[in-house]
Chain A
Amino acid sequence: MTYAEILSNNQLLKDQLIGTEKYPIIVLSNIIVSQQKEILEHSLRKHKINAEVSFGDYDNIVQDSTYLLTGQQAVIIFWEAANFIEGFSYKASIMSEEQIIEVQKKIQSEILAVFNQLKNVPVVLFNTFSALPFSSESLQKNKLEIICDELNYFIETNAPTNVISVNIDKLYSRVSLSNAIDWRYWYSSKSLYTIDFFKEYTEFVLPVFLSLAGKSKKALFVDCDNTLWKGIIGEDGMGGILMSSSVKGGAVFEEIQANIVELARKGVIVGLASKNNAEDVDEVINNHPDILLKNENIVIKAVNWLDKPDNIRWMVKELNIGTDSCVFLDDSDFEVGYVKENVPELSVYQVPQKTYLYPSLVRNIKSLFYNWSVSAEDAKRVEMYKAEKQRTIEQSTFISIDEYLDSLELKLILYNNDATYISRLAQMTQKTNQFNLTTKRYTETEINKHMQNGDSVIAFELKDKFGDYGITGMCIITYAGNEAVIDTFLMSCRVIGRNVEKAFFDEIIKLINKKGNITFLRANYLRTMKNEQVSQFYDKLGLSLDKTTPSGNSYYLIPQEYLFNNIKYIQIEYGK
């Protein structure tokens, strides 16, 4: 199905599911993965799970894991190592060992913070770090690969039981690297993956969601001749059928039986659906020297000469489970077609003609039975040894969001009426949609005019210990007598989530108060399609609501009475 078809089908499925309980999923990422939304929604909605996928802010994984998660059923984390800091994919190779360690420490404490903050979300899908798109095909590992390996080990040993790590390298191997990556958008938009990748990703993680929704497959019905063993018991007899790696042609069937036994031990209901004399099949199960699948693994048998669809319906009824939670496996074209036709809700698979492909088919079928609680059980075993580690971790590296922000060593540099940045400022008014209170678009000439006629055009630059975000926010204040008006207040999405806007606003008020004659400040929120996220901004800062209209709100403030936020972890500096 093409992406466009998925988009329109998704809309149809959404309408069909109106009234059913919503299943909110949030994606946190430090790259752009916007196409994941509809592809995942579509796949889950096809299974009657009314998924609503939303996104955190770009590159705000740690902050969003504290703020955005009420009611979320699942969190998916796309944390791209190449973008740990801007240009990390190539900078890692020329950074000093100390700098690398610093970055790694930062990421590790961020991972722990995220784990801790997400501990009440039912399930977290955490993609493993991969350097594959950014490494050469050389035998030698590059720095990024080494860092990814170490961090993946860190995740493996520290992840709580609600975290499932999703092996991205396995996905690359399924899609192929060249089909998974679209470099065109990496440098311009920090978007990395193709539609093919997102489709495959969705298939890959689907079993988790099906399991959580109680929609995993529960029963496997298998034919016997040429399905469990090679040959036909009624014709070839006990000595003629093959199911052991020690005989030519038998190895594949030994592997198949081992896989089915494994499923049975995990609680999957295994049934036989075979056209045969019941005694012949029993004889094989009970007495064949090579048989792996024993009676103890088999819950139900329909071995007779009746129609297979009838036998399957009978087993479904006996077991009292849904037909759609059953899987049927047979070698015959006729039976497969006949059963598909008559029991359409059943998942039907046919033994491949090329028997060497049969084991990989069965390995894939196994994922249909994926059961989250089994994995949780497995994880419990690891839990004990983790508990010991936990103490040290919590003492040494656990951080709150404030501590985290503190550790970033944020520095806000303000430029008041500095003509150097005019073109950047004009560009920001043109391009910023989300964190923009009034969305006024200005040309360079207009910005310049504001600077010349006594208004305050204040820009900020943000830095932290890992680098410089550049000029990423601005404010324009106009004056008339004793009154000041905030004409423009905007900030780039890249710096959201660090409370920079509060620190910036504090400084603006200080600047106004320094003027000496301003006793009244007006500010407006003008609603657009895209700036909902700042609709409460002035309320939160303690400004008084003056008027509410459909187009937005107006506010006022006596600047001398303003309560400063005093964000202690943001250091303020003034540029020349």
Chain B
Amino acid sequence: MENRIKKVIGSVFGIDPATITENDSPDSIPNWDSLRHMNLIVALEEEFEIEFTEDEIMDMLNYKILYTIIKEKTGL
């Protein structure tokens, strides 16, 4: 699952998935702005066939939280 998440993040922000670490956030990835955050959310939702709540969307501003929320939602 981790690979799938990183692959999506990589394609949304145009970076190599292998370089993504668990501390990554908008501070470390320059392309991670508010518009692309929206793109990331819809891409993840499509990939895992889930839907995030508004609160989750606002919380998901670093890789660790993002991973935890997706894990919780998918049960994978």
| Residues of the A chain whose Cβ atoms lie less than 8 Å from the Cβ of B34 | 189
Query: Cβ of B33 and Cβ of A530 under 8 Å apart?
Result: yes
Contact of A515 with B by CB under 8 A: no
Contacts of A3 in B (CB 8 A): 39, 42-43, 46
Smallest CB separation, B30 vs chain A (Å): 5
Q: Does B57 contact A (CB under 8 A)?
A: yes
A147 close to B (CB within 8 Å): no
B42-55 CB mask vs A (1 if < 8 Å, else 0) is 11001100000010
Write out the residue numbers on chain A whose beta carbons fall within 8 Å of the beta carbon of B36: 34
Chain A 498-532, CB-CB to B under 8 Å as 1, else 0, gives 00000000000000000000000000000001100
Query: What separation, in Å, do the CA atoms of A195 and B47 have in the docked complex?
Result: 12
B18 sits at the interface (CB 8 A): no
Within 8 A of B (CB), among A159-193: 182, 184-185, 188-189, 191
Chain A: interface size category: 20 to 34
- Find chain B residues with CB under 8 A from A7 CB: 11-12, 14, 39, 43
Q: Are B30 and A4 in contact, CB atoms less than 8 angstroms apart?
A: no
> B38 at interface (Cβ–Cβ under 8 A)?
yes
For B43, the chain A residues whose CB sits under 8 A away are: 2-4, 7
By the criterion CB–CB under 8 Å, are B47 and A2 in contact?
yes
Q: With A2-B47, A3-B46 in contact, do A184 and B35 touch (Cβ < 8 Å)? A: no
Determine if A228 is an interface residue (Cβ-Cβ < 8 Å).
no
Number of interface residues of B (CB under 8 A): 19
A5 within 8 A of B: yes
Main secondary structure of the interface of B (DSSP, over half): helix
| Contact yes or no, B42 A194, CB < 8 A | yes
One of B8, B11, B39 near A34 (C-beta < 8 A): B39
Q: Give A195's nearest chain B residue, CB to CB.
A: B42
* Min CB–CB distance B3 → chain A (angstroms): 12
- Collect the chain A residues with CB atoms within 8 Å of residue B39's CB: 3, 7, 34-35
* B38–A191 touching, CB < 8 Å: yes
Q: Which residue of A lies closest to B53 (CB)?
A: A184
A6 to nearest B CB, angstroms? Answer: 8
User: Which of chain A's residues have a CB closer than 8 A to the CB of B38?
Assistant: 32, 34-35, 185, 189, 191
User: Which residues of A lie under 8 Å from residue B10 when comparing CB positions?
Assistant: 8
CB-based contact A529/B11 at 8 Å: no
Cβ-defined partner of B11 (8 Å) among A5, A185, A188: A5
Q: Tell me, rounded to whole Å, the shortest Cβ–Cβ distance linking B28 to chain A.
A: 13
**Chain A contact residues, CB within 8 Å of chain B:** 2-5, 7-8, 11, 32, 34-35, 182, 184-185, 188-189, 191, 194-195, 433, 529-530
**17 additional A-B residue pairs with CB within 8 Å, beyond A34-B39, A35-B38, A194-B42:** A2-B43, A2-B47, A3-B39, A4-B8, A4-B43, A7-B14, A8-B7, A8-B10, A11-B14, A32-B38, A35-B42, A182-B42, A188-B54, A195-B42, A195-B46, A529-B30, A530-B33
13 contacts between A and B (CB under 8 A): A3-B39, A3-B43, A4-B11, A11-B11, A34-B36, A34-B38, A35-B39, A182-B42, A185-B38, A189-B38, A191-B38, A195-B46, A433-B33
Tell me the B residues contacting A by CB distance below 8 Å. 7-8, 10-12, 14, 30, 33-36, 38-39, 42-43, 46-47, 54, 57
